[in-house]
Structure 1
Amino acid sequence: MSVQQKFDGLSDDYDRYRPRYPSGLLRAVADELAPFDEVTAVDTGAGTGIALEGMIPALGGSARHLAVDVSQGMVDRGREKFPEVRWAVGPAEEFLENLREPVQLIVAAQAYQWMDRARYADAALAALVPGGVLAVLQNNRDFSASAFLDAYEELLEKHSPGYSRHYRDFDIEAELGAVFRPSGGRVRTAVERWTRSMGVDDFVRMSSSSTQVQRAVAREGDAFLRRVRSLCEEYAQDGAVGLPYRSELFLCVKG
C-alpha cells in the first residue's frame, strides 16, 4: 500500500483528533529564522495543515507558505483551512527538487519516516538558501511513561500486520547531520514532554485515523475498534485517558 493510499479517506478524523505541536518548539524554529527579512516556508508531508496551525502565527504575517502532501484528501482539507497557502499534491522529494525559488524554511512534521529519507535530506539541503532551516518535528506517544499506552502499543503490535512501536527508532540527528554538517551546517535537537487528556470516544476516533489501526480494521473489522474502546475504558479515569508525549525537533541549518 502506498503512502497516499494509507492516508486517503482519513482526513477529517486526522485533522480533528491528532495532537498539535508544542509552541516552544515552533518558537525555536522561528527564532532561527530571525536573520531573514523575508521567509518562504515549505511544509512537506503537510497532511491537513496541523503544523501550519502553529507555524503560521509563529512566523508572522509576512511569511509565505507552500505545502505539499501525497494525499488529495489531506490537501483538500488543508486548502479549506488555509486557502492562502499554495498547496500541491505529490511526493515531497520531487516537489523540493523542482523548486525554483529561494526557500528559508522546510518543515517535515510527523512525516519524515514516510520519506525516501536520503533523497529528501539532499533535496532539502539543495532547496534551502544559506542559513535556511530544515525542521523535522515529531509527536511521539511515550509508552514508557504510561501503562495505558504500553498496553495500546501491545494491542497494535498483536493485531496490526507488520506494526512495531519502534518504527521510528532510527537516528534522525545522525542521518540529517551526515547531509548538513559536511558543508558547514549544523544540527541540534530539542525535546519537550507534555501530557494530553482525551475522552474515550475521542481517543477511539483518533486511533481510527491511524494507518496502523486501519490495517487492523481491514483484517478484523470494527471488532478491533471495540478492543481499543475496551482498553480505554479499562484505564480511563473520569471518562478520560492521559497520553504522555515526547515531542522532538531536529533543527538543521544550512551552512
Structure 2
Amino acid sequence: MDFKPTQRFSDRVDNYVKFRPSYPSELLKFFTDQLGLTAASAVADVGSGTGISAEIFLNHGNTVYGVEPNAKMRAAAEKNLVGYPDFRSVNGSSENTGLPADSVDFVIAAQAFHWFEPVATQKEFKRILKSPGTAALIWNDRRMTGTGFNVDYEALIAKYGSDYKQVRHNNIDQKQIESFLGAYNEHVIFNYQDLDFDGLLGRLLSSSYMPQADSEVYPAMKAELQALFDKYQKNGMVRIEYDTRIFHARMK
C-alpha cells in the first residue's frame, strides 16, 4: 500500500501547528549534558514538519536545517520560525536532504522516522554527518494505558482511524532501530498536554489517519469524543500523557 507520506499531512497543517505537543525542556538538557550538543553545533532536522522540534534547538542558538518534503508543512515552518535567522528551510527528503557531505554535527528525526525508507536514509544520514556525528530518532509516544482516558481515547482512535494500525510509529521495533542506528541507547522523558475540548479535537484531527470534517463518520466521531471528554474532564481539561523517547547513537 502506498501511504504517500510526503502528502498525507497537507490538509491538517493548521491543526498540526496548533495542537501537536512540543517536547519537554529536559530534552534539550539531555542533548547538551549527555550528547555533547553546544550552541555551535549544526543540526539537521529531517522530516521537520511545521518546525516544532527545530525551534527547541534554535532557542539554544543552533543553526538548524529543517529538511521537509511537504510544501505546506515546510511553508508553515518558515512562517512560524521567521524570527530565527539561523533556521534554514530545505526542500528535501530523508533519502536526499540536499545538504553537503560532512556538514552537520547532529541529525534528528522527530515524529518522522516511521515514514522513511531506512536503507537510503541511513546512507544519507552518514553522508551529511561529520565524524563523529550523532543521530537521534525522537517520538512523543502517547500512553495508551494507565488511566481510563488513555484507554478510551486509544479505542476511539482505533475505531475511526483509517489506516492507524498500518502507519503508527509503534510499528518500528528495536530490531529496526538497531539496524538503522547500530548499537544505540534510549532515553525516556515524561511529557503531557492539558487540553480543553477544542484542543482535544484539534489534536485528534492533526493525525493523518483520522477523518476530517467532510467525512460521513465525522459527526459520530466528534460526538463520541465529546462524551469521552465530558467523562474525564477536570476543570474543563483532559490530559494526554506521553513518553518522549530518544533513540541515539554515533553514526558515521
Band of TM-score, shorter chain: 0.7 to 0.9
Choose which of 197, 200, 211 in structure 2 pairs with 1:200: 197
Aligned to 2:66: 67
The alignment status of 1:143 with 2:140, answered yes or no, reads: no
Task: Give the letter aligned to residue 202 of structure 2.
Answer: R
Per-residue CA distance 1:74-93 (angstroms, 9 max, x = gap): 11111012233111234222
- The 5 Å alignment of 1:232-247 reads 232-247=229-244
Aligned to 1:190: 187
Per-residue CA distance 1:119-169 (angstroms, 9 max, x = gap): 222321232111211111110111112211211211221222232399333
* CA shift in 2, pair 1:126/1:78, >3 Å: same
- The 5 Å alignment of 1:61-210 reads 61=61, 63-83=62-82, 84=85, 85-95=87-97, 99-164=100-165, 167-170=168-171, 172-181=173-182, 186-210=183-207
Q: Using the alignment, how far apart are the partners of 2:181 and 2:90 within structure 1?
A: 26
Aligned to 1:46: 48
Q: 5+ residue gaps in structure 1?
A: none
Q: Using the alignment, how far apart are the partners of 2:112 and 2:69 within structure 1?
A: 11
**SS in structure 2 at match of 1:95:** coil
- Equivalenced residue count is 247
Aligned to 2:57: 55
Task: Give the letter aligned to residue 196 of structure 1.
Answer: Q
The alignment status of 1:224 with 2:221, answered yes or no, reads: yes
- CA RMSD between the two structures: 2.5
Q: Using the alignment, how far apart are the partners of 1:118 and 1:13 within structure 2?
A: 31
Aligned to 2:9: 7
- Return the offset for 1:170: 4.3
* CA shift in 2, pair 1:172/1:108, >3 Å: farther
Q: Using the alignment, how far apart are the partners of 1:204 and 1:51 within structure 2?
A: 22
Asked if structure 1 preserves the Cα contact closer than 8 Å seen for 2:136 and 2:248, the reply is yes
Asked if structure 2 preserves the Cα contact closer than 8 Å seen for 1:173 and 1:189, the reply is no
Q: Using the alignment, how far apart are the partners of 1:109 and 1:142 within structure 2?
A: 17
Q: Using the alignment, how far apart are the partners of 1:208 and 1:230 within structure 2?
A: 17
More displaced 10-residue stretch of structure 1: 30-39 or 121-130: 30-39
More displaced 10-residue stretch of structure 1: 118-127 or 172-181: 172-181
* CA shift in 2, pair 1:30/1:93, >3 Å: farther
Q: 5+ residue gaps in structure 2?
A: none
* CA shift in 2, pair 1:159/1:90, >3 Å: same
- In the superposition, the TM-score normalised over structure 1's length comes to 0.85
- Return the offset for 1:216: 9.2
Asked if structure 2 preserves the Cα contact closer than 8 Å seen for 1:152 and 1:231, the reply is yes
Q: Using the alignment, how far apart are the partners of 2:122 and 2:146 within structure 1?
A: 32
Q: Using the alignment, how far apart are the partners of 2:30 and 2:37 within structure 1?
A: 13
Q: Using the alignment, how far apart are the partners of 2:181 and 2:7 within structure 1?
A: 32
Per-residue CA distance 1:172-198 (angstroms, 9 max, x = gap): 5543433444xxxx5210011233321
- In the superposition, the TM-score normalised over structure 2's length comes to 0.86
Task: Give the letter aligned to residue 29 of structure 1.
Answer: F
Asked if structure 1 preserves the Cα contact closer than 8 Å seen for 2:181 and 2:248, the reply is no
Q: Using the alignment, how far apart are the partners of 1:133 and 1:247 within structure 2?
A: 18
* CA shift in 2, pair 1:144/1:123, >3 Å: same
Q: Using the alignment, how far apart are the partners of 1:241 and 1:110 within structure 2?
A: 23
Identical residues among aligned pairs (%): 22
- Return the offset for 1:71: 1.6
Q: Using the alignment, how far apart are the partners of 1:197 and 1:179 within structure 2?
A: 34
